[in-house]
Amino acid sequence: MTDAAQQTAIERQKPQTFPAKAFAAQSKTSTMAPFTVQRRSPRPEDVQIQILYCGICHSDLHQVRNEWEGVMPTVYPCVPGHEIVGRVVKTGSAVKKYKEGDVVAVRCMVDSDRTCANCRAGEEEFCESMPTFTYNGPDKFLGGVTYGGYSESIVVDEEFVLRVSDKTNLAGTAPLVCAGITTYSPLRHWKAGKGQKVGIVGLGGLGHMGVKFAKAFGANVVLFTTSPNKTADALRLGADEVVISKNPDEFKKHANTFNFILDTVSAEHDLSIYLSLLKMDGTMTLVGAPNKPAPVSAFSLIFGRRSLAGSAIGGIRQTQEMLDFCADKGITADIEMIKIQEVDKAYERLLKNDVKYRFVIDMASLK
């Protein structure tokens, strides 16, 4: 088959589409502006969702400005957004889990190969073929790349849609499918809970959720921050104690006392000083991702048989577990609601850590 004939065959297989309003970046230096995307008409397995709220993740900023060019280059125009809560407006003929009117969520991936060992184990985030990301990922149906939640509508396979209780604060629920599961998953995996001393490093979008979950699991929670003015907030969120990271004396009294430490900081910082706080066989897990590799003293691991680990988001099954847990316990993210037209200002404030603790876009503002 010639290239032209092959392209024609692909075009014939493409589903029908419909337009959806969105906000997009046209280049790494451009501002966010109105844009129209084409969404596929629902296939038998698909759910069409009217987006009500979309959280702003720090990765949106990285992607829009092509700061991950060496790993995940941005394809423009780019429509970010992977913390999505919305309402089902249409379902395909084979959809069994959802019906029109249901409140649902979509996270940072909308598909995977579903056949590799990791997918079969319910860990789609580690798909050996790479999951299909909600935005800036290859669109296997329409070609080009996927477009995210800064939009009025999205169409997703029902297996990658999550159920949300309509009794929760829906805007505060949106960040749970990224910031929430990113902290919930490692705390669950390393069995943080009653009788354990758990440290959370950093009080931002991730850290504030880490404090909430660790407290809800029954742990003794210590928050580490470089900002003394965050002490009151940390205690309000559930921390039992706050340590100012710039004070070496405060570190000394906690040496060899932690079962688990969750490090949420994306800026460069000393990892070894936190490793020294772990008990024998304790673990420190990274969910923040600094741009540069961090040096680690081998002795901070050797003495105490300590472990340094990393964690991504959880799988679909665990994310649903987390959403159900949050609905039962009344847990949501602390948010600041904005209009879609304020996204660029929100990005600038995000760079200054000037948000408590997650921006969420009210998509009703997209007119």
Please tell me the pTM assigned to this model.
0.91
- Tell whether 264 and 303 lie within a shared domain: yes
Determine, yes or no, domain membership for 204: yes
- Tell whether 21 and 162 lie within a shared domain: yes
- Tell whether 168 and 184 lie within a shared domain: no
Range of the domain at 95: 16-178+333-365
User: According to the model, what pLDDT value does residue 292 have?
Assistant: 76
CB-based contact 256:273 (threshold 8 Å)? no
- Tell whether 48 and 187 lie within a shared domain: no
Determine, yes or no, domain membership for 271: yes
- Tell whether 108 and 36 lie within a shared domain: yes
User: According to the model, what pLDDT value does residue 2 have?
Assistant: 56
Q: Which tens digit of pLDDT belongs to each residue from 335-367? A: 999 999 999 999 999 988 899 999 999 999 997
User: What is the residue-averaged pLDDT of the chain?
Assistant: 92
Domain count, the chain: 2
Determine, yes or no, domain membership for 324: no
Q: Which tens digit of pLDDT belongs to each residue from 245-288? A: 888 788 888 999 999 999 999 888 889 999 999 999 999 999 98
Please give the sequence-ordered ranges of beta strands (E in DSSP) within 158-297, or none if there are none.
162-163, 197-201, 220-225, 241-244, 258-263, 278-286
- Tell whether 186 and 287 lie within a shared domain: yes
**Cα separation of 54 and 152, whole Å?**
10
The CATH number that applies at residue 200 is 3.40.50.720
Determine, yes or no, domain membership for 11: no
- Tell whether 111 and 227 lie within a shared domain: no
CB-based contact 233:221 (threshold 8 Å)? no
Determine, yes or no, domain membership for 133: yes
Determine, yes or no, domain membership for 9: no
| Rg of the chain in Å (alpha carbons) | 21
Cis peptide upstream of residue 357 (ω within 30 degrees of 0): yes
The per-residue pLDDT string of the chain (367 residues; one tens digit each, 9 = 90 and over) reads 455 554 555 555 778 999 999 999 999 999 999 999 999 999 999 999 999 999 999 889 989 999 888 778 999 999 999 999 999 999 999 999 999 999 999 999 999 999 999 999 999 999 999 999 999 999 999 999 999 999 999 999 999 999 999 889 999 999 999 999 999 999 999 999 999 999 999 999 999 999 999 999 999 999 999 889 999 999 999 999 999 988 878 888 899 999 999 999 988 888 999 999 999 999 999 998 777 788 888 989 999 999 999 998 899 999 999 999 999 999 999 999 999 999 999 999 998 889 999 999 999 999 7
- Tell whether 289 and 210 lie within a shared domain: yes
- Tell whether 190 and 202 lie within a shared domain: yes
β-strand partners of 200? 223, 262
The rounded Cα 276 to chain-centroid distance in angstroms is 29
Determine, yes or no, domain membership for 327: no
- Tell whether 171 and 200 lie within a shared domain: no
For the four alpha carbons of 166, 167, 173 and 177, in that order, the dihedral sign comes to negative
User: According to the model, what pLDDT value does residue 1 have?
Assistant: 47
User: According to the model, what pLDDT value does residue 290 have?
Assistant: 75
